Structure 1
Amino acid sequence: MYKLIFLHLVLFLFSINIYSQSDSLKQKTSFQIAAPFNEAYDVRSDIVMVYGVNDAGGNFEQRIKGWREKGYNVQFMTGIAWGQYQDYFLGQFDGKQHLDEGQVQRNGDTIWHGKNVPYLVPSDSFLKYIKTHIKRAIDAGVTAVYLEEPEFWARAGYSEAFKKEWQKYYNESWQPQHISPEATYLSSKLKYHLYLNALKDVFAYVKYYAKSVGRDVKCYVPTHSLINYSSWQIVSPEASLASIDDMDGYIAQVWTGTSREPVYYKGLKKERVFENAFLEYGSMVSMTAPTGKRMYFLTDPIEDWPRTWDDYKRNYQATFTAKLLYPTVDHYEVMPWPNRIYLGKFKVEGSDELQTISPAYATQMQVMVTALNEMPLSFNKLNGSHGIGVLVSNSMMFQRFPTHAGYEDPQLSNFYGMALPLLKQGIPIETVHMENLDNSNTLKNIKVLIMSYANMKPLQESYHTALSKWVNDGGVLIYYGRDNDPFQTVREWWNTGKYNFNSPSEDLFKKLNVSNTKEDSFIQSRKGWVSIKRVDPKELVIEGSNDAAFIELIRQAYEKYAAAGKLILKNNFYLQRGPYVIAAVMDEFKNGESLKIKGSFIDLFDPELSVLTEKVIEPGHQSFLYDMRTVDKKQPKVLATAARVYEEKIAAGKYEFIVKSPSETMNAMRIRIPYKPAGVTLTKLSGEKVDIIKNDWDTSTSTLFLKHKNFSEGIRVIITK
């Protein structure tokens, strides 16, 4: 017995020691991976999120140990709606098969994520099972737990497991969701609550168990944006997760795969990756900004579907640029699955041959990733007219499938109709989450708010109270919608109990004391103004060139009624964050002008790190630059590199540091030196000499360009005068 008590004490002290070490580790950048450590994809971010207890053939504790020994802050990620949980589904966990807990669609088919891996209806037994994984991860010393993608497909909802949950939640018999708009709405609302409650339960366990062993383990949810889930017809708790006390933040899972979803604009349906990514990241910011929860932005240098390397690179630049245009976020998941990126094979344009990542793209990608380790928060704002918001809600996910009474919202156009015409005119449009309206910070900087109930419905009356207060205090509200979609009459608070409104907007307009029939004018509501347009927002983008009147209405609202200044229309976005300059020029603008930026720059999208005095950005393209005018010319500094810098030492006539990056890749570095170097030596930490491929001095900028092979173990660079 005493031996057992001693063993528990040793484990307890060990867990405290692990935490005290990891607590001091950096937490700015991360990546997720199921595979064990390998020099070929040693990305050198602060955090590695080791994925899945059963993934990568087991050896979970060895994977944790291997990454920790390489200096990483080790955390844990696993799926909450699916995962390598065959031992649970096939009966090895508790002697019972659980395949019947899968999400089932109308034809009786289960929706699968892989062999013997269904998307789940979260049950008590599954939550009990997932907690065994959580315990194992905490015992292994992880500092955070990520429960990924709480997803319930809109087309699902026909399983026996779901029928039981319906009875429990609504206290009435299950209704097949295809029979009526109300059944569809109630079905999705239940899906939303099932995963909200599941995460609440598991995160409470994380905090409880961590505390019992003297630890403080953080809890995060990696999730797609509300825009993407609504577009892909998936239901998830989204903004409501921020209400969970034990939830510390999110990873915004935005990448080429989500952002390339085609959308309508001026009657044309096509991919608009940069614009879509900008709106997706923005919806994630607005979801968390009022709550103070931490946000990590994800980008992926490739994507899940096999494309060409050229396609990946082009769209990676677009999504990467979009995320950097949000200066209040400075934490990043730099990539998922680096083993897939560095070792996977994909086509190049003009060829059917599968190839690994090119040295040039790998170098460019690593330069971009390294910059994220240094990317500062900034109080700078995007160029353009700020303070215009579009209201969104979790209930956008509730109306997506199936359709009823012939009413459709193709490609989520009721949202894009309010946002895309403004974004395309260079207005840094914001999304505002209705679920955050009770927080006084939510509308603090919004001057003009655009909304519609064509594609969503208010889940609480308090949202209308908050909106009416904001308008009465001077806000300008623009309402678009015919209010004739079949979801207007679903059983909800505005038509039950003391209320009998035909649509939720009737309650809102009553609270604002304005007529809901008066169109084409601004109606005063105390200090604020309201304009009502009986047009569904989708009509502004599905029909060609139908947004001119909308833009003019926004101009009046912004300039005259909100007195917010001149509404600036343009085709570009520009932002400086410390030494970094981020810019994008959009196509489909009336004059198609390019953007010219003059100064002294390093082109960070160029693997040769070229020096520029002028950068010209054409429509449909983006740029990422390092402004050399921001750094001290008298102090040596690595300005840009495809490796991470460690142990920097500056002495008279000598500059020394170590660089680490995935082995067998190529490093490019541009270094500011106040003198022309007389000597440059590169050696592995083992003492072996490393060949220098390029050693070029640029007199005009006093910068040295070095190119050499990378090694995970590290290379010591010594530059002497």
Structure 2
Amino acid sequence: MRNLKYYTSISALAISLIVQSDVLAQVKSKQKTSFQVSAPWSADYDVRSDIAMVYGINDDGGKFEERVKGYRDKGYEVQFMTGIAWGQYKDYFLGEWDGKNHLDEGQMMRNGETIWHGKNVPYIVPTANFLTYMKSHVKRAIDAGVTAIYLEEPEFWARAGYSQTFKDEWQKYYGFPWMAQHESPEATYLSSKLKYQLYFNALKEVFTYVKTYSESKGKRVKCFVPTHSLINYSSWQIVSPEASLANLEGMDGYIAQVWTGTSREPVFYNGLEKERVFENAFLEYGSMVSMTAPTGRKIYFLTDPIEDRARSWDDYKVNYQATFTAELLYPMVDNYEVMPWPNRIYRGRFPVEGMKERQPISPAYATQMQVMVNSLNQMPLSKNKLNGSHGIGVLLANSMMFQRFPTHEGYDDPQLSNFYGMAIPLLKQGIPVETVHMENLANKNTLKDIKVLIMSYANMKPLSADFHQELAKWVKGGGVLLYYGRDNDPFQNVKEWWNTNGNSFKAPSQHLFGLLGITENANSSAYEVGQGKVYLVRKDPKELIMKENGDKDFMAMLKQAYENDAKAGDLILKNNFVLERGPFVISAVLDESQSQSPLTLNGIFIDLFDPTLPILNTKTIQPGAQAYLFDVNKVENKNKPQVLAAAARVTDEILTKKSYQFVAKSPAKTNNMMRILLSAKPTKITAGTGGKELPLSKSDWDEKSKTLLLGFENFSEGVKVNISW
């Protein structure tokens, strides 16, 4: 389009703009799916997503430019990912970069030990010198032609904060000497607040450099932060900038790093602590949506078919299905990182129950996984809503990370139960509860669809009085607020805005209640406030889930608030979630719910969790399980031959009146299985690669669905398929 200025006629200009618009649309469509990889390209894990995020300048033996070229030559858009808190930065830490040893910049615990991410690779306190080093990495990546920079996992461990480097940063930030975080709740709070700020500043500085340098070269390189959810970081006792980044200039979006490893963290419900992977994943993805949706920033959802911790392949598969289902239940997101480290998945060996030696991925699981990840290339955005009662939110704040470690007398929050106490009871009864980030309250989109908001200051504190102004305005305009909290934890007394500079509130909630016209000695009551209502319950949310049936009164109050006060309709309680996105049907049935009945769906379905891709007329889903289906009846153009599901990426389609031709690409040494919609039973089918015809492992026609089940060996360079009828 550089010749656009030479057009003189209006019609030519209009045509050029249409072409330009179409080109932009094509570029956008090519940025739908991605994977991260440090290893050079290999046919064995040629995933065929749109984007290859090549990891680390020094990773996998270096040769960064060669790795970038290798993926670009195979047709990938190439981007760059590296850690901001850790990475293969031994040249920096051991003095090769500037002649100085920097191991003293690692995050240090109270016992004087550094927290390591690997040999000679500590988690870093992000000093000015380290950020200069990081700029040299992103510069090299931009020079190599990448289109985006991902600085992942800005993590500062809550148990760290004892190094001289951190003490120096404390003095610069606060203007008074360092305080050991174990000595008081206030020191804990201030320590975490500084850790949070250090990584906010670090990302701001490096992203500013990325934008400035790339634009100087005539490019617009985007900036993303792959990060765990606020829920997970709080649970794992890690501090990170999280929601504040969504409004950072130069920040283009996030990757929501949610997978089995984060979601299997045990949580309490009904007095029982155990893994609840689907429920946890649903809340984690939701917190990432609430963090970004009001700001319009882009977000990719990540899942991982395995995880860092060694478990069995069967365990990985069950929990992969749970997290995969959870991510698809958010119809407003259609960008995905389909997997990290594909070489680990395809070449790794993990336990198999009943076998002594570790085994590679099974052909069946590889096929199923490839069907799932390739379906994401077709996954549409949808305005459909998850079935159930909408408009119920739980308030979160970044400060939830500030109270996690160490534990002080008078405060205990096992497994983050002061958060989960407000969310898990709702989720278990089939309510699609949302999370609301306090940092986004000033954005008009944040509360516009929330009818009932549940909050507590037992596990977090407001970092600004302005948040209370927004909450008060929302309640007075008709919102219903449920406040749970005893407000007697020691963090209520840290030196913050509610008890300094002329304020003398004993707890931040008193300031909020004052704006709402509620007296300071209010206790377990309901208050009319403008057009809205406030319920005040002097219980900490953890009390709702850490004992059996602890949520009974809570659920009754929620029903009253939702139906009678918010007038939002009936509060629907059930044990399932179902969502349709185009032809895809996604469902989860909850255990520990008000019903133990299975859910039965009827239609003409392809079961996408089954590597044999069977056609089903009914699908029954038991409590604790999920389903992923393709509804053949929902295909937009049933008269057009098309691949409906495949363990390969389909390209180069050619259609005539009597034939259908395409190319299927997927990692080598795996098995393809595909369902193809046709207008008639085929009379001839051929599949070949490199001039060689391949045998078909499966070729079955289903007359009712008008689909062909076709199977053959996958090849990275592609298999050309010809079907005639």
Partner of 1:225: 229
Give the whole-Å Cα distance in 1 for the aligned partners of 2:455 and 2:27.
43
Q: Which structure 2 residues correspond to residues 271-670 of structure 1 after superposition, within 5 A?
A: 271-631=275-635, 632-670=637-675
Q: Offset of 1:183 from its aligned partner?
A: 0.3
Say if 1:481 and 1:315 are closer, same or farther in 2 by CA, change over 3 A. same
Q: Contact 1:519–1:531 (CA<8 Å) still a contact in 2?
A: no
Give 3-state SS (helix, strand or coil) of 2:541's partner. coil
1:28 maps to a residue whose letter is K
Partner of 1:73: 77
Deviation string for 1:37-96 (max 9, x for gaps)? 000000000000000000000110000000000000000000000000000000000000
Q: Return 5+ residue gaps in structure 1 as ranges.
A: 1-18
Q: Contact 1:22–1:143 (CA<8 Å) still a contact in 2?
A: no
Q: What TM-score, normalized to structure 2?
A: 0.96
Q: Contact 1:225–1:238 (CA<8 Å) still a contact in 2?
A: yes
Give the whole-Å Cα distance in 2 for the aligned partners of 1:703 and 1:591.
36
Give 3-state SS (helix, strand or coil) of 1:355's partner. coil
Deviation string for 1:503-530 (max 9, x for gaps)? 0000000001113444444211111100
Give 3-state SS (helix, strand or coil) of 1:454's partner. coil
1:318 maps to a residue whose letter is A
Q: Contact 1:143–1:218 (CA<8 Å) still a contact in 2?
A: yes
Q: Contact 1:33–1:337 (CA<8 Å) still a contact in 2?
A: yes
Deviation string for 1:260-317 (max 9, x for gaps)? 0000000000000000000000000000000000000000000000100000000000
Partner of 1:3: none
Give the whole-Å Cα distance in 1 for the aligned partners of 2:24 and 2:674.
35
Give the whole-Å Cα distance in 2 for the aligned partners of 1:118 and 1:41.
30
Give 3-state SS (helix, strand or coil) of 1:360's partner. helix
Partner of 1:135: 139
Q: Contact 1:22–1:73 (CA<8 Å) still a contact in 2?
A: no
Q: Which structure 2 residues correspond to residues 118-133 of structure 1 after superposition, within 5 A?
A: 118-133=122-137
Partner of 1:83: 87
1:294 maps to a residue whose letter is K
Give 3-state SS (helix, strand or coil) of 1:626's partner. strand
Q: Offset of 1:24 from its aligned partner?
A: 6.7
Give the whole-Å Cα distance in 1 for the aligned partners of 2:506 and 2:484.
17
Partner of 1:9: none
Give the whole-Å Cα distance in 2 for the aligned partners of 1:67 and 1:251.
21
Give the whole-Å Cα distance in 2 for the aligned partners of 1:274 and 1:517.
40
User: Which segment drifts farther, 548-557 or 403-412?
Assistant: 403-412
Give 3-state SS (helix, strand or coil) of 2:568's partner. coil
Partner of 1:188: 192
Give the whole-Å Cα distance in 1 for the aligned partners of 2:239 and 2:100.
28
Give the whole-Å Cα distance in 1 for the aligned partners of 2:506 and 2:354.
57
Say if 1:516 and 1:610 are closer, same or farther in 2 by CA, change over 3 A. farther
Give 3-state SS (helix, strand or coil) of 2:207's partner. helix
User: Which segment drifts farther, 109-118 or 351-360?
Assistant: 351-360
Give the whole-Å Cα distance in 2 for the aligned partners of 1:472 and 1:20.
44
Q: Which structure 2 residues correspond to residues 631-710 of structure 1 after superposition, within 5 A?
A: 631=635, 632-684=637-689, 686-710=690-714
Q: Return 5+ residue gaps in structure 2 as ranges.
A: 1-22
**Aligned structure 1 segments of 4 or more residues deviating by more than 6 angstroms:** 19-22
1:61 maps to a residue whose letter is E
Partner of 1:146: 150
1:529 maps to a residue whose letter is K
The reply on whether 1:160 has 2:164 as its aligned counterpart is yes
Q: Which structure 2 residues correspond to residues 51-62 of structure 1 after superposition, within 5 A?
A: 51-62=55-66
Give 3-state SS (helix, strand or coil) of 2:606's partner. strand
Give 3-state SS (helix, strand or coil) of 1:281's partner. helix
Give 3-state SS (helix, strand or coil) of 1:692's partner. coil
Q: Offset of 1:687 from its aligned partner?
A: 1.1
**Aligned alpha-carbon RMSD (Å):** 1.2
Give the whole-Å Cα distance in 2 for the aligned partners of 1:533 and 1:227.
23
Partner of 2:18: none
Deviation string for 1:447-466 (max 9, x for gaps)? 00000000000000000000
Give the whole-Å Cα distance in 2 for the aligned partners of 1:31 and 1:139.
21
Give the whole-Å Cα distance in 2 for the aligned partners of 1:460 and 1:597.
48
Give 3-state SS (helix, strand or coil) of 2:97's partner. coil
Q: Offset of 1:170 from its aligned partner?
A: 0.2
Q: What TM-score, normalized to structure 1?
A: 0.96
Give the whole-Å Cα distance in 2 for the aligned partners of 1:290 and 1:381.
18
Give 3-state SS (helix, strand or coil) of 1:538's partner. helix
Q: Aligned pairs, how many?
A: 702
Partner of 1:206: 210
Give the whole-Å Cα distance in 2 for the aligned partners of 1:619 and 1:529.
36
